[in-house]
Structure 1
């Protein structure tokens, strides 16, 4: 799977975890040069607290387009250490 924005590969891995229609990439498969930490946080009743990143490519920012659960609840343990994408970031095979 690949995560793309503006024809740039943000992440690529054969080892994603699919949860609620979102592919969670291992952190090691995500190019950190394209992510800027965000102050945004949300809460999921069964996964826990999500922390967000702004995707940044060629001077353009896509706020809060990536997220991770740094300390997920037990029910979501399989996504710990993984990052997912949404908004205009396309995830394709």
Structure 2
């Protein structure tokens, strides 16, 4: 599967390597294109996943502020709830196409 902005791929991995949580596909960190993400200072904490790290996405001429996020340090119970470790996996906001 691919995460795409304006035809530019920002992440790519086989579907079996992704994790689906609350309607979002989470891509493994190794699938992210080098230089596509830059940490954002936007704060957020999910009550069951933990502290979130937002990222600004850059792809070609396109920049999407807070267009991606990950949970680098999961709260106890998050892995059990999802059934798989997803620490550091990256999900994308609307506007980023997720395609097969």
Same-fold status (TM-score > 0.5): yes
Q: Corresponding residue for 2:23?
A: 21
Equivalent of residue 53 in structure 2, options 35, 43, 51? 51
* Equivalent pair of 2:36/2:58 in contact (CA under 8 Å): yes
* Equivalent pair of 2:50/2:73 in contact (CA under 8 Å): yes
Choose 1 or 2 for highest CA Rg.
2
Q: Corresponding residue for 1:3?
A: 3
Equivalent of residue 39 in structure 1, options 41, 63, 67? 41
Return the offset for 1:74. Answer: 2.4
TM-score under structure 1 length normalisation:
0.92
CA deviations 1:10-35 (Å, max 9, x no partner) are: 10111100000111111001113111
TM-score under structure 2 length normalisation:
0.86
Q: Corresponding residue for 1:84?
A: 91
Let me know the Cα RMSD of the aligned residues: 1.1
Count of matched residue pairs: 93
